[in-house]
Chain A
Amino acid sequence: DAKTTQPNSMESNEEEPVHLPCNHSTISGTDYIHWYRQLPSQGPEYVIHGLTSNVNNRMASLAIAEDRKSSTLILHRATLRDAAVYYCILRGPMFTTSGTYKYIFGTGTRLKVLA
């Protein structure tokens, strides 16, 4: 299983943009890059995912390097509610026999947002 490397923790001021980096140098051509976040006392929740092109949704943007060996999750204006552990995950190809796949989580980046 391909692995990801993230900083253990980061801090940001409220209302400022946050760039959360992730390295995945062993990524294969069919691995999707997924980001999840886990708020205190909750299960992880989906944030965004992509394969090659940059992606935007209402929660965040995902910038993927041209060689796909790294990516950055961008929160455009951090709020106190964004304080969470952010996980960068590589999702492998779907298994044709079952139509399923699995995620392998790392330790994530704990984001602290300062008021």
Chain B
Amino acid sequence: DAGVTQSPTHLIKTRGQQVTLRCSPKSGHDTVSWYQQALGQGPQFIFQYYEEEERQRGNFPDRFSGHQFPNYSSELNVNALLLGDSALYLCASSRSGGGGGYTFGSGTRLTVV
């Protein structure tokens, strides 16, 4: 049983560009959360998607947006990239109402130059 799959694994972008990161949740999971993890820090919550809508949002600017598709997969979009957006972006899936924990992917390492 595949867990959470994220693509790409690594990415290098130039400041000012836009980027799209993708996530396929674990089978049976319908909720997707995105986290940003700077080097040496704990993951910071960006937002969470359920039933194709953003349900929760952390303290991130509108440059960060997302989408969830009918098959529960999700995308994270970041516009007007800044050097400070360089980080590991983690996707986590969970089952709504299940009371269980998250399953995390291995992340996408984004470097903005």
- The reply to whether chain A is a binding partner of chain B is yes
Q: Which residues of A contact B (CB under 8 A)?
A: 34, 36, 41-46, 49, 85, 87, 94-95, 97-100, 102-108
> CB-nearest residue of chain B relative to A35?
B101
B51 contacts which chain A residues (CB < 8 A)? 98
Contact across chains for B94 and A100 when beta carbons are under 8 A apart: yes
Does B76 reach chain A (CB closer than 8 Å)?
A: no
A95 contacts which chain B residues (CB < 8 A)? 55-56
Contact across chains for B101 and A100 when beta carbons are under 8 A apart: no
A85 contacts which chain B residues (CB < 8 A)? 42
**Contacts between the two chains (Cβ within 8 Å), count:** 62
> CB-nearest residue of chain A relative to B88?
A43
C-beta contact mask, B17-60 vs A, less than 8 Å → 1, else 0? 00000000000000101010000011111001011000110100
Interface size class of B (residues with CB under 8 A): 20 to 34
A5 to chain B, nearest CB (A): 12
Question: A87 vs B48: C-alpha distance in the bound complex, in angstroms?
Answer: 20
> CB-nearest residue of chain A relative to B40?
A107
Say yes or no: A87-B42 contact (C-beta < 8 A), given A43-B90, A100-B96: yes
C-beta contact mask, B84-113 vs A, less than 8 Å → 1, else 0? 000000101010110101111111000000
- Residue with the highest number of chain A CB atoms closer than 10 Å, among B35, B56, B90, B101: B101
Across the interface, A98 reaches (CB within 8 A) one of B41, B42, B55, B105, namely: B55
Question: A46 vs B31: C-alpha distance in the bound complex, in angstroms?
Answer: 16
Say yes or no: A102-B50 contact (C-beta < 8 A), given A43-B107, A44-B104: no
A94 contacts which chain B residues (CB < 8 A)? 97, 99
Contact across chains for B102 and A99 when beta carbons are under 8 A apart: no
Contact across chains for A102 and B56 when beta carbons are under 8 A apart: yes
B45 contacts which chain A residues (CB < 8 A)? 102-105
B42 contacts which chain A residues (CB < 8 A)? 85, 87, 105-108
Say yes or no: A103-B106 contact (C-beta < 8 A), given A87-B42, A98-B50, A98-B96: no
Across the interface, B48 reaches (CB within 8 A) one of A46, A102, A108, namely: A102
Contact across chains for A49 and B101 when beta carbons are under 8 A apart: yes
Contact across chains for B44 and A42 when beta carbons are under 8 A apart: no
A-B residue pairs in contact (CB < 8 Å), sample of 16: A34-B101, A43-B90, A43-B106, A43-B107, A44-B92, A44-B104, A46-B103, A98-B51, A99-B31, A99-B50, A100-B55, A100-B56, A100-B96, A102-B58, A103-B33, A106-B42
